């Protein structure tokens, strides 16, 4: 049983697990912000543009089943708006990032020994033909 808890402790204290936990917490807070932006800002504007149409009330009855396809349409619209908001936020954050400077690879001049070996290799290739 002691080994089990030691393994669990090692697992829980790994760097990537802690990073993931921080990401989940920040993601949850960010979700609340994005949902509020969509629900409280964008959806009323879209409602004004479309004349107050609320898709969530749309439904159809087939036999004894009630298909609320309006909820699906509303969810798709909200998804598109949320994806657009996340795209804009990520695009804005990327503008503040420093562009990565390209790493310049410097190839050193071959040593005298390497040059001699290359010449020997070339001569051996000529003789082999």
CATH of the domain at 110: 1.10.1200
**What pTM did the predictor assign?**
0.49
* Residues 93-113: tens digit of each pLDDT: 888 887 777 888 888 888 989
Q: Other C-beta atoms within 10 Å of 43: how many? A: 16
Buried b or exposed e, range 53-87, using 16+ CB within 10 angstroms: eebeeeeeeeeeeeeeebeeebeebbeebbeebee
**109 burial class (0-12, 13-18, 19+ CB within 10 angstroms)?**
exposed
* Residues 22-43: tens digit of each pLDDT: 888 888 888 888 888 878 887 7
Which pLDDT score is estimated for 76?
A: 86
**Quick one: what percent of the chain has pLDDT higher than 90?**
0
Which pLDDT score is estimated for 45?
A: 81
Distance (Å, rounded) from C-alpha 27 to C-alpha 89?
13
Give me the domain span that covers residue 16: 2-128
Average of pLDDT values for 76-85? Answer: 82
* Residues 40-65: tens digit of each pLDDT: 887 788 778 877 777 778 888 899 98
pLDDT at 129 > cutoff 70: no
Which pLDDT score is estimated for 75?
A: 83
Number of domain units in the chain: 1
């Amino acid at each position: 049983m002691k080994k089990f808890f030691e393994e669990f402790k090692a697992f829980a204290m790994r760097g990537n697990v802690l990073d993931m936990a921080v990401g989940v917490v920040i993601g949850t807070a960010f979700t609340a912000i994005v949902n509020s932006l969509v629900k409280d800002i964008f959806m009323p504007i879209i409602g004004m543009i479309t004349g107050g149409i609320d898709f969530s009330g749309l439904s159809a009855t087939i036999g004894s089943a009630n298909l609320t396809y309006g909820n699906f349409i509303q969810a798709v619209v909200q998804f598109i708006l949320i994806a657009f908001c996340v795209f804009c936020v990520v695009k804005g954050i990327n503008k503040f990032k420093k562009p990565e400077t390209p790493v310049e690879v410097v190839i050193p001049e071959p040593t005298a020994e390497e040059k001699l070996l290359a010449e020997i290799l070339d001569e051996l290739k000529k003789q082999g033909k």
